[in-house]
Amino acid sequence: LSGEALERFGGRISRKFSFLGKNRKDSSGRRHDWPNFDSRTLFLPAEFVKGLTGGQRQWWEFKAKHMDKVLLFKMGKFYEMFEMDAHVGAQDLDLQYMKGEQPHCGFPEKNYFENVEKLVRKGHRVLVVEQTETPEQLEERKRKTGSKDKVVRREICAIITKGTMVDSGMISDNAEPSFLAAVTEKADNYGGSLVGLCVVDASRALFMLGQVEDDSARTKLRSILTELRPVELVLPLGLLTDATQKALREQTRKPLISQLVPSKEFWDAEQTTKEIRTSYGASDVMPTVLQKILELGVSSEPVLSAFGGCICYLRQSLLDGQLLQLGRFELLPGSDLSFEHSAAIPEAAEAHMVLDSAALDNLEILENSSNCGVAGTLLCLLDHCITPFGRRLLKQWIVRPLCNIESIVQRQNAVVDMQGVAENAVSEFRRELSGIPDLERLLARLSANSGENGRHSQKVVLYEDAAKKQIKELVAALRGFQKLVKAVSCFGNCLPQLKSARLRSLLTFGKGFPDLKPLLQYFEDSFDWSESEANGRVTGGDHSNLSASDPREKLESYLKSQQKFFKNPEISYVTVGKDTYLLEIPEELHTKVPSDYELRSSRKGFCRYWTPRVKELLQELSLCENEKEAALRGILQTLTKRFCDDHDHWLSAIRAVSELDALMSISSARLHMDGMTCLPTFVPASQLAKPVFRAKALRHPIVAVSTAASTPFVPNDVVLGGGSNPEVMLLTGPNMGGKSTLLRQVCLGMILAQIGSEVPAESLELSLTDRLFVRMGAKDQIMTGQSTFLIELLETAVMLRCATQNSFVALDELGRGTATSDGQAIAHAVLHYLAHNVQCRGMFSSHYHKLASDFANDPSVSLCHMACKVGGGNNELEAVTFLYKLTSGSCPKSYGVNVARIAGKPKFPSHAHVSRSFHAGMPESVLRRAALQSAKLEKEVESHCHEADVIKTILDASVDSAEQLRTAWEKAKLI
């Protein structure tokens, strides 16, 4: 607290609520400094509760069970915030405190979505307590039951966090999913672990289940976290290893974390299995993925437990019924779970190139290194999707490039068709879908609204028109699917000319794209979409006349009878404030007004009355309106349920258009690459003795565009493997000469090729890459106690342990974070192991020029450098001109001092500290070779230093003859 708030409320807690201070206990009576203290709950002293009013008692009872949440307490048309929650409202929502000694602020119902989203985005858990009874219903209940309650009933209707936002008013502007991830593990005795994950996108009712057999660095877990960036983590309290907790900290962006009590709140595999079988009963209604996981038995315990933890958490959040009943279950991408091929789990059969967290980060695939945004990333280059669901699929394609030539060629054929015979149809398709809503989320929301849950329950007292919102969403979905049908129809004329079989299937009604026309026609016949959307009520179809006798007609008939009674046709009905159907009678007729007419108001020359008959008809009208409203709500629920009954058809259409949208996005990639592009040619492994990468005039897809206006990008020919060519390249050259850029552009070229996209090159021939290993750029992690040297050794160890002949390794200046002798020895050993043991394609850039002489005659390593011109300059410092051209042979110097002048750096930068010890799970042969090479280098350095000392001693000595010189030499050697 600060300022006015501190002055008004500073000492309130210590004065009024001593049980919140150092004597605080949880609901079980445990003090805050006792083991197992539950900070989420609060013990309320009986004497304190006795002194509360009914409303205060209600608030404290809710708050005491949810101390970790901000409570929104519904009172009439407002959400009120009291005590400690009022300070949150004032600080994070800019709300004004109410008058009085109690901290209190609030906001109207219309601002619910906006303010809840603000609170959640700031990291708060929000508890929504709604009225489930009106004051009139309270009086009726008291009359019937004899209850003495003075406060209307209220219930918890929603618990909202970063990972459980589902309402359109909170997430409509953000296509990126907000993942919630439950993680648990089964550790082994060697630092490894079997990690189970359940990842949920609540806005789409999507569950992704997976399990990875991970190493001590949690490499696979890190890759999954880097791709998904969960905003919320659900973890078993005290069960995770340090290595797993470390990976969760380092590969996420400040997620909300919930630590649940094992067994009680985070089920084990046995408890989860019982829950699954109870919930789904017969196996034919159980999702296929769950069924397959259960069949694996003991080996799937971690993923089952993770799913159990997720169910528990969603149950606490009142979302388990809604999401599990309607949920889609998929295999988590990157999972090690192995199923037999199933049409229901297509992702289980498709092979992909593996991009771990180091590759995703170092190559800036999804996030840039400057501000974690998308500018300058591969995602930014390729993402030109027109739909939110297409954008989500494209991201999956980018982080998991295909590793099957047939599948890649199918995408390439689709790209060729979209750039050729279907070019005009593509433009029409994109125009048709411009501004389309997120149908995938809309479908999940409508499915949720078709039931009785949360704020959608009819017992919740809302003053906003919930039915109008639901009708708008239903109509928006129907119109959206109409647009999908029209968009797909744009390809009708060119369909027979398409080369791609996959594209033809996606664009054929009844095949890859479901025939939605009969379904849409049913809803067109059922109600008037435009009129219903405008009125907020179902109109048209068979729903126009729900009441045989409309009281409004009786009121009009009664008005005519009154005009006749008073013999004055000017008598009419008026509305004043909340009073409707007031009979307005000229003042001169007041003598004829019966005594039972109730005078309500007047104006000059007129008096306004409610008559007994008008009151009767108004009651009848109110009853009729309520009945009609209930009937219309029932009709709306029926229509919504009917819509959701065809969930699978709607979802199939979304998936087809997602794929079409993603294909169009990569087909347009060439328009955003500077210069010539090509579709790569893949060489099957059966035709090769060793892997190959052969590019002509290859450019960096992003840097080439960003520098095109100022400096033309220099393309390069790159050959690795194939025929007699070495698979590994040792790349030297001056600092800032383009080595790192070349490594990155080769990596990005491989990724683009296996996505199915065109590549910025004149030509590219390559074999499939099963995994990309990348280590480049200084990446000190000071806060975690990890140096550049340790990080690069950990990443290099993963490469050496996991790389196959079909992998690609990009290493940039390995060993620079330690003493020169150690670093050079490690670089030598790693390069030798890659070239002779793994025999994969790789590029190894280095400033250790002795490496070039070490491998000068090695047929498995090609020596290349980034060319430069040296000459001119001043102060005995030669000028360096970068040519950025890949050239055969090694570079004799790095020209670091020369380049320092260009970069404006200090003339003599300080060196990193010396470290001799390392161990990161590397092959023993690499460790032995590195040690031998280190000793050899140290002896050479020692010898050179000794010779220098001898010469210095002789030069310092005063000698006049050859004999004195010989004597000085012998003495110097003994020093």
365 band by pLDDT with thresholds 50, 70 and 90:
very high
At residue 8, the pLDDT reads 86
Strands across the sheet containing 579-586: 572-576, 579-586, 606-610, 598-603
User: Which pLDDT does position 551 carry in this prediction?
Assistant: 85
- Least confident interval from 757-771, 799-813, 904-918, 956-970: 904-918
For the chain, the structural domain boundaries read 3-160, 174-349, 405-537+629-667, 551-622, 670-922, 939-974
For the residues of 746-789, what is the DSSP string, one character each? HHHHHHHHHHT--BSSSEEEE---SEEEEE-S---BGGGTB-HH
Condensed to tens digits (0 to 9), the pLDDT of residues 202-230 reads: 999 999 999 999 999 999 999 999 999 99
The pair phi, psi for residue 628, each rounded to 5°, is -65, -40
Instruction: Please give the average per-residue pLDDT across 943-958, as a whole number.
Output: 54
pLDDT of residue 913: 30
Q: Domain 405-537+629-667's class?
A: mainly alpha
Average pLDDT in the chain: 87
Inter-axis angle of helices 962-974 and 924-956, to 10 degrees? Answer: 140
Choice among 407-411, 633-637, 902-906 with the minimum mean pLDDT: 902-906
Closest CA to 722 of 841, 848, 599: 841
The pLDDT tens digits for 690-728 are: 999 999 999 999 987 776 556 789 999 999 999 899 999
Which is higher by pLDDT, 442 or 283?
442
Average pLDDT over every residue of 896-923: 44
CATH architecture of the domain with residue range 3-160: 3-Layer(aba) Sandwich (3.40)
Mean pLDDT confidence for 624-641:
83
Distance, in Å, from the CA atom of 130 to the CA atom of 117, rounded to the nearest integer, reads: 17
The answer on pLDDT for 429 being more than 90 is: yes
Q: Label the pairing between strands 716-721 and 354-355.
A: unpaired
Residue environment code for 73-100, b if the CB has 16+ CB neighbours within 10 A, otherwise e: bbeeebbbbbbbbbbbbbebbebebeee
The pLDDT of residue 777: 64
What mean pLDDT do residues 845-850 have? 86
Q: Average pLDDT in the 473-494 region?
A: 96
Task: Note the pLDDT of residue 917.
Answer: 33
Give CA 912 to chain center in angstroms. 37
Residues recorded for the chain: 975
Amino acid 966: pLDDT? 62
How far apart are the C-alpha atoms of 640 and 634, rounded to whole Å? 10
Question: Residue 228 in contact with residue 199, Cβ under 8 Å?
Answer: yes
Between the CA of residue 391 and those of 490, 659, 748, what are the distances in Å?
Answer: 21, 10, 20
Cα angle 179-185-188, degrees, rounded to a multiple of 5: 150
Give me the CATH code for the 551-622 domain, please.
1.10.1420.10
Residue 871: pLDDT over 80? no
Decide if 405-537+629-667 and 551-622 have a common fold.
yes
pLDDT tier for residue 915 given thresholds of 50, 70 and 90: very low
For 881-909, what is each residue's pLDDT tens digit? 889 999 999 887 766 655 555 554 443 33
Task: Tell how strand 808-812 and strand 154-160 pair up.
Answer: unpaired
Residue (of 781, 823, 775, 780) closest to 799 by Cα position? 775
Cβ-based neighbour number of residue 946 at 10 Å: 13
Sign of the dihedral defined by the CA atoms of residues 739, 744, 745, 746, in that order: positive
Q: Is 949 a residue whose pLDDT tops 80?
A: no
Of 449, 244, 208, 487, nearest in space to 327 by CA: 208
**Higher-confidence position of 139 and 455:** 139
Which of 307-321, 452-466, 630-644, 843-857 is most confident? 307-321
In this prediction, residue 73 carries a pLDDT of 98
- Mean pLDDT calculated for residue range 309-321: 94
Residue 82 to residues 25, 69, 77, 99, 194, Cα–Cα distance (Å): 21, 12, 16, 12, 45
Which pLDDT score is estimated for 4?
Answer: 79
Q: What is the pTM of this model?
A: 0.84
Q: Does the structure show a pLDDT above 70 at 115?
A: yes
Q: What is the DSSP string of 826-842?
A: HHHHHHHHIIIII--EE
Beta bridge partners, 584, equal 572, 608
Q: Distance between CA atoms of 208 and 197, rounded to whole angstroms?
A: 8
Strands 256-260 and 328-331: unpaired
Residue 308 pLDDT > 70: yes
Predicted confidence at residue 907, as pLDDT, reads: 39
**Residue 700 · residue 713 · CB < 8 Å:** yes
Instruction: For residues 816 and 915, give the distance between their C-alpha atoms in angstroms, rounded to a whole number.
Output: 11
Burial (0-12, 13-18, 19+ Cβ within 10 Å), 788: middle
Contacts of residue 777, Cβ cutoff 8 Å, sequence gap at least 6: 362, 369, 740, 812
Per-residue pLDDT for 52 more than 80?
Answer: yes
CATH superfamily for domain 174-349? MutS, connector domain (3.30.420.110)
Most confident of 43-52, 172-181, 545-554: 43-52
Cα–Cα distance, 807 to 773 (Å, whole number): 8
Q: Which of 364-368, 836-840, 943-947 has the lowest average pLDDT? A: 943-947
**Per residue in 160-203, pLDDT tens?**
999 999 887 888 667 789 999 999 999 999 999 999 999 999 99
Cα–Cα dist 696/304, whole Å: 49
Q: Which of the four pLDDT bands, split at 50, 70 and 90, describes residue 862?
A: very high
**Percentage of the chain surpassing pLDDT 70?**
87
Specify the pLDDT at position 168: 79
pLDDT tops 50 at residue 441: yes
Contacts (Cβ under 8 Å, ≥6 apart) of 151: 54, 55, 58, 138
Architecture field, domain 670-922: 3-Layer(aba) Sandwich (3.40)
Helix-strand-coil percent breakdown of the chain, rounded to 5? 45, 20, 35
